[in-house]
Amino acid sequence: MMNNPTGRITQGQFSFLPDLTDDEIRMQVEYGLRKGYAWSVEYTDDPHPRNTYWEMYGMPMFDLQDAAGVLMEMNACRKTFPKHYIRLMAFDSTRGVETIAMSFIVNRPAREPGFVLERQEIEGRSMRYSIRGYGAQQPEGERYGA
Amino acid sequence: MNAPLYRIPGPSTEAATPAESGATQAEAAPAPRTVAQVLASSQVESVMDELDAELIGLKPVKTRIRDIAALLVIDRLRALHQLAAQAPSLHMCFTGNPGTGKTTVALRMAQILHKLGYVRRPQVVSVTRDDLVGQYIGHTAPKTKEVLKKAMGGVLFIDEAYYLYRPENERDYGQEAIEILLQVMENQRDDLVVILAGYRDRMNTFFQSNPGMNSRIAHHIEFPDYAPDELLEISGRMLSAAHYRFGEGAREAFAAYLERRIRQPHFANARSVRNALDRARLRQASRLFADRHRELSADDLSTIAPADILASRVFASVQPAS
């Protein structure tokens, strides 16, 4: 298992740690809100490393004061997509940043088969590489036993 | 927890640890056993005093807040004996005539509940029907949810709540907003306190058609009309807040004005007082304006004279009560 040593996808913050509990997530969200970030929820069942833009679950949440609203949305998303990857993202609208300041996975499927490394031999014995998720072989919505 | 196997270099760590644990034990030792001890360690008392000092009249409101504060204190004492109880439902409904202070109290409620420790933030999100109900199918739910998420942790104040439900239009989206609201009011009691406000008769109709809403609101508080002397006291406070004061005889003139105005239609309690004072200020301004070459002192500029009040049209049209 060269490309999936932990059996888990490691993208975003905290991904080498055990899954955050809801209370830990709440504290992270509070931290972001105090910094003035706007949180949003995204989900996907194609966690390819180059799949940057996941599907948005609702609108980004501006002007929030408390983490409870974000957690409410997150739990609604977990209920709708229990076997998808779900992440929380914090957008910093400060001039000069205007990009994602925080991002971490809050939901993942029980079994994560990881990726296959495909080698393609081209002219002159050069190699081309690409990776493809085992899960992505099924059509969208049927991956990870969903 | 096991003691760590490593040690951070430096002389202070060894000494600090026993001292620290000693301090926490000393703090925990005199656990409050009487109401007075709890009161001393919380802000409950200052909240009550502030309320009494700053709001005139409004007895039912003050009594209810007192009850809520008392429950908090008793709950702390109960916690010592492991008598855990669920957090009380704090959703409220304020009914009363125009100008009786429903909005003023609601905006204050967040601070009060925050100081009492029932809500996490002293913030109020004040909305009306327009902010909750959408214009087309599928518009209402996201709109309502967005408002709810913004209000989480504090107080959501819905002014003129009866507009949410329009019985004459069966395809009205207000019902959808009410259902989402009810769900959150029930499931996330710790996160959000909802306060509805409106005129009494219209709120009664609203609750009759939405029994679910009625039963989920624990506190129905009725705001009584102000007595004339309370109104006079309110007017004095309004003036001093704007750095004005009644001149000689002006207070009596204003009392005579109120006595006539109360009997007229569309009397809106404190709001009418505010409007009357604003008009008196206008008259005072034009009185001073007419005298171009006079040097005006701060006293002249801040005094409302009886003439400013007696010029009101109410004196011309309404006879004094016999």
pLDDT over 50 (residue B208)? yes
Query: Quick one: closest CA in B to A60, which residue?
Result: B146
Look up the ipTM and state it: 0.81
B290-320 pLDDT tens trace: 888 888 888 889 999 999 999 888 888 877 6
pLDDT bin (cut points 50, 70, 90) of residue B171 is confident
Using 70 as the pLDDT threshold, list the residues of chain A that sit under it: 1-5, 146
Quick check: B49 pLDDT over 60?
yes
Residue B9 has pLDDT above 60, yes or no: no
Residue A34 has a pLDDT of 93
A64 to chain B: which residues are within 8 Å by CB? 149-150, 152
Question: With contacts defined as CB-CB under 8 Å, which chain A residues touch B152?
Answer: 64-69, 72
Question: Do A66 and B152 make contact, defined as CB atoms within 8 angstroms?
Answer: yes
Residues of B in contact with A73 (CB under 8 A): 145, 149
- Indicate the SS3 state at residue B288: helix
pTM (2 decimals)? Answer: 0.79
The verdict on a CB contact (< 8 Å) between B154 and A66 is yes
Q: What pLDDT was estimated at residue B27?
A: 47
- Asked if A101 contacts A32 with a C-beta cutoff of 8 angstroms, the reply is yes
Q: Min CA distance, B286 vs chain A (Å)?
A: 44
Q: B146 and chain A: CB distance < 8 Å anywhere?
A: yes
Q: What's residue B13's pLDDT?
A: 45
B236-256 residue pLDDT tens: 999 999 999 998 999 999 999
- For the range B227-235, what are the long-range contacts, defined as Cβ-Cβ under 8 Å and sequence gap of 24 or more? B227/B57, B228/B255, B228/B258, B228/B259, B228/B262, B230/B56, B230/B57, B231/B258, B231/B269, B231/B270, B231/B273, B232/B258, B233/B56, B234/B56, B234/B270, B234/B273, B235/B273, B235/B276, B235/B277
Q: Where are the alpha helices (DSSP H) in chain B?
A: 12-28, 35-40, 44-54, 59-80, 102-116, 129-132, 140-151, 174-187, 200-209, 211-216, 228-241, 250-262, 269-290, 298-302, 306-310, 313-317
**Residue B19 binned pLDDT confidence (cut-offs 50, 70, 90):** very low
What pLDDT sits at residue B254?
92
Chain B interface includes A58 (CB < 8 A): yes
Instruction: Check CB contact of B154 with chain A, cutoff 8 Å.
Output: yes
Average pLDDT, chain B: 84
Rounded CA separation B305/B308 (Å): 5
